[in-house]
Amino acid sequence: MSTTLKVEHLSIDDLDLDVENPRIRKFIEQYGTTPNFDQMLLALGAGSSDPESGSTVTFQSLKESIRAQGGVINPIFVERKPDGRYRVVEGNTRVAIYRSFVADSIKGAWNTIPAFIYDQLTGHQADAIRLQCHIVGPRPWDPYSKAKYLDDLINTKNLTLATVVDLCGGRRREIVDYVAAYRDMEKYYRPVLESDGDFDATRFSAFVELQKPNIKEAIIDSNFTFTSFSEWIRDRKIDPLNTVRALPRILKNTQARAKFLAVGAREAIKLLEVPPAPGLTNVPLDQLLRVVVEKLNTMGWRDLEVLKNDPGSEGSQLLIEAHEVLAEVCQTISDKE
């Protein structure tokens, strides 16, 4: 691999989009054919305006930004092929947008695009580029596409988990949960759909939540299965998706479980809610947190044993939910990306 990379402007006609891109690959696997240009656009998100992750830039917003700027800010990454053409390792969506501008006769210089050129990528160097740009970098794939790619690296290309963790900057728990969620979604969710066209990748975060041990235990202990869970997702019984966290409490309560199975988690949760003390909702968050921390620090051994011996209790489940929410908030405010 070249140690010094130069930026060159390459003709978009000399570029081949990368079939290893998880979104393009997903399309090929689903339809069993090499997609044409219009199908490539759809595979890369041209028809989507509602990404699951708020940090994900939609195809249309990126397209408009590039048009307004008159080009891309960040060069793409390509590998020179023996026949003189170039494989797009990173930047497939931007190349597709340039081509769409040319096809639609949009005013501007869209026939060439700046690119970093590798003469040869060996081993897992191409994977490293994709991971650094789309898993931990500034241009993230949607969560399902991330998970599909991670699963391919570990279970098809046989990279060790340690190798993938190193490439992703040490996010071991996230990688493990994403791969497990992807596998559960393919194993349980896809089969309960009438057709592949009904597959909704934005449901992925529910399957990430499913990986939490207390969620799976609650489902099994209540004599349901992960196929049942997938049917709840399909039928929008779990909506919004973060209500997965309340499943242990819902399934343990007879009335809430009946309400959930009839109309969904949103209404079931209302049966579990206890009105806060008067004026408590107006107390500043920092004051509430100080009280919670003090309560937890002074909790007696007997109280802890009660919670430990009944992990499905209301108190235990609320503590687990609070822990999950606090962990996410803390991760967000400490994330340097």
The whole-number pLDDT of residue 49 equals: 47
The whole-number pLDDT of residue 130 equals: 78
115/41 same-domain check: yes
Q: Taking the chain (337 residues) in consecutive chunks of 10 residues, what is each chunk's mean pLDDT?
A: 71 86 68 66 60 52 87 89 89 88 90 90 78 66 87 87 80 90 96 92 94 90 96 95 90 94 93 73 80 79 74 72 77 63
Task: Look up the pTM and report it.
Answer: 0.66
127/246 same-domain check: no
Do residues 2 and 118 touch, judged by C-beta distance below 8 A? yes
Tokens 């990306």 belong to residue = 337
255/292 same-domain check: no
Tokens, residue 46: 């041209």
The whole-number pLDDT of residue 288 equals: 79
Q: How far is CA 336 from CA 97, 226, 330, 331, 332, in A?
A: 30, 35, 12, 10, 9
E strands in the chain: 7-11, 15-16, 76-80, 86-90, 112-118
The whole-number pLDDT of residue 51 equals: 42
Last residue of a domain, one of 244, 270, 296: 270
251/309 same-domain check: no
Asked if residue 83 is part of any domain, the answer here is yes
253/312 same-domain check: no
Last residue of a domain, one of 218, 247, 270: 270
126/236 same-domain check: no
Asked if residue 165 is part of any domain, the answer here is no
The range of the structural domain enclosing residue 330 comes to 282-334
Measured in residues, the chain has a length of 337
Query: Cα 16 from chain centroid?
Result: 26
| Dist CA 13 CA 30 (whole Å) | 27
The whole-number pLDDT of residue 327 equals: 76
Asked if residue 154 is part of any domain, the answer here is no
